[in-house]
Amino acid sequence: MSSLKKSFNVRCRDFIHAGEASISVQQLLKQMHIDPVLIRRIAICGYEGEMNVVMHGGDGIYCVEINTDRIVLDISDKGPGIADIAKAMEKGFSTASDEYREMGFGAGMGLPNMKKNADEMIVESEPGCGTRVRMSFIIKQSTPT
């Protein structure tokens, strides 16, 4: 199977369409008969990454690359960036506003959820230069579907 790539624009504060990229990817992976357990892990990571862009990131791009042996999510934004990535990875740490917390976001679980569910995760960010999160998921050929 050759590589399949798709990308979606994600807009800052666009709660009307928030989550649609993740849902589209989930539907695509189902059509490709990817292991349901793997799809669920990707759904968690994709949703958390997408919502980070909606809430914190300014506009961004959500890309998925599907290969024979792995699936890669590459979510980047033009937002303010992360000053301390290690701190941001700590469970419970959040810079979300009160408005977002009242909506049930900002629990400080997003990045830890992504780290837990991805096989590999790389976060690149600098203040003022946006953020890029790449997550890889290995497709185990023997995994029952």
Residues lying near another protein in the complex (CB under 8 A) are found at: 15-16, 18-20, 22-23, 26, 40, 43-44, 47-48, 51, 103-105, 107, 109-110, 113, 116
Residue with Cβ nearer another protein (103 or 122): 103
d(CA 50, CA 13): 11
Kindly tell me the burial class for residue 76, based on how many C-beta atoms sit within 10 Å of its own C-beta (0-12, 13-18, 19 or more).
Answer: buried
Q: Tell me the closest approach of the beta carbon of residue 70 to another protein, in angstroms.
A: 21
**Closer residue to another protein in complex, CB, 26/125:** 26
| Shortest distance, position 43 Cβ to another protein, whole Å | 4
Q: How do beta strands 4-10 and 131-138 pair?
A: unpaired
Cβ 117 vs Cβ 44: under 8 Å: yes
Cβ closer to another protein: 16 or 86?
A: 16
Structure tokens belonging to residue 42:
């990707």
